[in-house]
Chain A
Amino acid sequence: MGPLSRTWTLTKVRLLLATRNRAFFFFSLVMPVIFLVGAVVFIGRKTQWSGYILGAIVATTVMGSFWGLSVQLVSFREQGILRRFRIAPVGAGPMLASSIISNYFMALPVIFLEILVCRVALHMQNSGNLWAILVLATIGSATFSSLGLIVASVTNTMQETQMINNLIWMGFLFLGGATIPVGSFPRWLQRVSLFIPAQYLATGLQSAATWRATPSEIVEDVVALSVGLLVAFEMSRRLFRWEPEAKARPRAKLWVLAAFVPFLLFGTWENIRGGQLKRVTTNYQVLSRMTTQQMRDH
């Protein structure tokens, strides 16, 4: 039995366990839909912003894997569940890959539900380019899962994990464009946002959902997230710890920063080139202009 087959076996069990977890249903299914309905109702159904909001909500759902997986991995390690798997012929690769794949399979129906709610219940005028949304959701889910797994590997307790998660999560949420549009930031903050992985996901999804951007039009976002995924997965595999008593040294926490190196490079490149910033500011200005026009027409 090879690593692929072991990964699939573990994936199936993880999916099964998720269906038995009430907290998963609430936080992964109910809450995003409540946010979505609330945001669209608050801002208005028929503006172009509803597509933008859909992109933001999908981005938040995808990024949620960062939280979910790190907490689950630490909890499994603290309970001694991982060491039981360690004694079986299961390597770190299948363990981590199965959690990423199962997490993706769990996020996928939520994303479709969000799109469905927008189209059917909220009569949203367009739900964007579904292929582009799917491509970004797939790569983004794996990237943010891997980042979460790195945090789990370099922290020793649940408390520590949650503290570091909160710090990073705040950056993702408020500087990445998933809540506040990057286009509305002052210029210097826009430049900072280019170093945040969430920026590439949120901007890509918002372009796909609002302007029906095709996969080829969001290729920069896809490349940034893919490189980030490769680095983060390999690092999480190398840093993976099975044993609760095998404590990570304080210096190991620096590896979390190392995982952001690809985004540091992309951020620098984009700051010099200016393409990404031009895109977010243009999109934001066009949306704002359309909203003002709509209000005048009324």
Chain B
Amino acid sequence: MSEPIIRVENLYKNYGSVEALRGVSFSVEEGEVFGLLGPNGAGKTTTVEILEGLRTSDRGTALVCGLDPEKTGEQFKEIIGAVLQSTALPAKLRVKEALDLFANFYPQRADVEQLLRRFQLEEKRNTFYNELSGGQKQRLALAMALVNNPRVVFLDEPTAGLDPQVRREIYDIIEELRRSKKTVLITTHYIEEAERLCDRVAIVDHGRVIALGTPRELKQKSVGTTRLEVRLAKPVTNGTLGRLEGVSNCREFDGAYVLHSARPPQTIVALVKQLEAENNELQSLEMFSPSLEDVFIELTGRRLRE
């Protein structure tokens, strides 16, 4: 078996008294789109920035293409591309100039004209950076990440703060990267992003990887295979609903009751009977197939964006 292109073993990082990483381990194979999924502050960005060589770890191993990002400097930077979470370019730099500038730093360069076409920036080639919309800036950031034809691309929250349409455009670009067999490490707190784009996902919480596998594998591991979201006329105690047939987990969220059930039909029948007995009414009932969010809730007892 070939050596993984990214290898992270027992990575630790503290910021003062805050433990950002507490033994993160995972590996990524060449050509894979790998996701780090977790809430804000889980340690995703710290992990990626250590892999990009922007931060140093306190302990552990981080290797990209067999190189240590902390020690190999320019040679390492020539083989990676990155979209950083918080970054900018000079306001009065035009789109084409930005791509040309960064292309000039590398011995191996992608065709800038082709990148402009691929990222739908042709019409904006002479536009100043400060005149671009959020989506256009992000497309430019992606194009710049590929300007050196990198072996590994790091995308740190590439769609954060973008509207759904722009987000879908970015998804298309990442899917294209997958088709072109680029290795991509993406961090996100969007479930749909991880499910749609990633070959494998590591769920990260409080500086630890708490689950790892393909989205399908992770969802199959979920014991509450179906999620029921119920709204009632009158409140009931959680305990009552949690004892219904087939229910493995019950919690109140945003005025609704969220039940995880392995046998949804039996749970629904039991719920209706229970409500009749309590002289309560069912206002709405929605059923969802298990998602990575359910896996996260099961593992942590919290929602991703709480």
Cβ of B53: which chain A residues have Cβ within 8 Å of it? 87
Bound Cα distance from A5 to B105, whole angstroms:
8
Bound Cα distance from A21 to B128, whole angstroms:
13
Instruction: Render A118-161 as a binary contact track against B, CB cut-off 8 A, 1 for contact.
Output: 00000000000000000000000000000000000000000000
* B104 nearest in chain A by CB position: A9
Taking the complex as formed, is A6 at the interface, i.e. its CB lies under 8 A from any CB of chain B? yes
Taking the complex as formed, is A238 at the interface, i.e. its CB lies under 8 A from any CB of chain B? no
Taking the complex as formed, is A180 at the interface, i.e. its CB lies under 8 A from any CB of chain B? no
Taking the complex as formed, is A20 at the interface, i.e. its CB lies under 8 A from any CB of chain B? yes
Least distance between B16 CB and chain A CB atoms (Å): 12
Contact B77 A87, beta carbon cutoff 8 Å: yes
Contact A17 B93, beta carbon cutoff 8 Å: yes
Contact B54 A87, beta carbon cutoff 8 Å: yes
Taking the complex as formed, is A81 at the interface, i.e. its CB lies under 8 A from any CB of chain B? yes
Q: Is the interface of B mostly helix, strand, loop or mixed?
A: loop
Taking the complex as formed, is A183 at the interface, i.e. its CB lies under 8 A from any CB of chain B? no
Cβ of A1: which chain B residues have Cβ within 8 Å of it? 104-107
Taking the complex as formed, is B255 at the interface, i.e. its CB lies under 8 A from any CB of chain A? no
Contact B89 A88, beta carbon cutoff 8 Å: no
Least distance between B68 CB and chain A CB atoms (Å): 16
* B105 nearest in chain A by CB position: A88
Cβ of B54: which chain A residues have Cβ within 8 Å of it? 83, 86-87, 243
Contact B88 A80, beta carbon cutoff 8 Å: yes
Contact A89 B106, beta carbon cutoff 8 Å: yes
Q: How large is the interface on B (under 10, 10 to 19, 20 to 34, 35 or more residues)?
A: 20 to 34
Q: Which of B53, B101, B105 has the most CB of A within 10 A?
A: B105
Contact B97 A16, beta carbon cutoff 8 Å: yes
Q: Which among B77, B92, B107 is the interface contact of A88 at CB below 8 angstroms?
A: B77
* B75 nearest in chain A by CB position: A89
Taking the complex as formed, is B87 at the interface, i.e. its CB lies under 8 A from any CB of chain A? yes
Cβ of B205: which chain A residues have Cβ within 8 Å of it? none
Bound Cα distance from A105 to B217, whole angstroms:
61
Cβ of A87: which chain B residues have Cβ within 8 Å of it? 52-54, 77, 80, 82, 84
Taking the complex as formed, is A84 at the interface, i.e. its CB lies under 8 A from any CB of chain B? yes
Least distance between B266 CB and chain A CB atoms (Å): 53
Taking the complex as formed, is A184 at the interface, i.e. its CB lies under 8 A from any CB of chain B? no
Contact B87 A81, beta carbon cutoff 8 Å: yes
Bound Cα distance from A84 to B80, whole angstroms:
13
Taking the complex as formed, is B102 at the interface, i.e. its CB lies under 8 A from any CB of chain A? yes
Least distance between A218 CB and chain B CB atoms (Å): 37
Least distance between B92 CB and chain A CB atoms (Å): 4
Taking the complex as formed, is B86 at the interface, i.e. its CB lies under 8 A from any CB of chain A? yes
Bound Cα distance from A88 to B102, whole angstroms:
7
Taking the complex as formed, is A171 at the interface, i.e. its CB lies under 8 A from any CB of chain B? no
* A83 nearest in chain B by CB position: B87
Contact A20 B84, beta carbon cutoff 8 Å: no
Contact A81 B90, beta carbon cutoff 8 Å: yes
Given contacts A1-B106, A1-B107, A87-B52, contact A13 B97 (CB under 8 A): yes
Least distance between B140 CB and chain A CB atoms (Å): 11
Cβ of A9: which chain B residues have Cβ within 8 Å of it? 101, 104-105
Bound Cα distance from A16 to B89, whole angstroms:
14
Cβ of B74: which chain A residues have Cβ within 8 Å of it? 89, 91
Given contacts A87-B52, A89-B74, contact A17 B106 (CB under 8 A): no
Taking the complex as formed, is B70 at the interface, i.e. its CB lies under 8 A from any CB of chain A? no
Bound Cα distance from A207 to B120, whole angstroms:
59
Least distance between A72 CB and chain B CB atoms (Å): 10
Contact A84 B105, beta carbon cutoff 8 Å: no
Contact B105 A90, beta carbon cutoff 8 Å: yes
Contact B77 A89, beta carbon cutoff 8 Å: yes
Within 8 A of A (CB), among B60-101: 73-74, 77-78, 80, 82, 84, 86-90, 92-93, 97, 101
Contact A89 B105, beta carbon cutoff 8 Å: yes
Contact A84 B78, beta carbon cutoff 8 Å: no
Cβ of B73: which chain A residues have Cβ within 8 Å of it? 89, 91
Contact B105 A21, beta carbon cutoff 8 Å: no
Bound Cα distance from A116 to B96, whole angstroms:
37
Least distance between B217 CB and chain A CB atoms (Å): 32
Contact A84 B84, beta carbon cutoff 8 Å: yes
Q: Which among A5, A80, A86 is the interface contact of B86 at CB below 8 angstroms?
A: A80
Bound Cα distance from A10 to B106, whole angstroms:
13
8 contacts between A and B (CB under 8 A): A1-B107, A6-B104, A9-B104, A10-B101, A13-B101, A17-B93, A84-B144, A89-B74
The 5 closest A-B pairs by CB, nearest first: A89-B74, A20-B92, A89-B77, A84-B87, A80-B87
Assuming A81-B90, A87-B77, A89-B74, what are 18 further A-B pairs, CB within 8 angstroms?
A: A1-B106, A5-B104, A9-B101, A9-B105, A10-B101, A13-B97, A13-B101, A17-B93, A80-B87, A81-B89, A87-B54, A87-B80, A87-B84, A88-B106, A89-B77, A89-B106, A90-B105, A91-B74
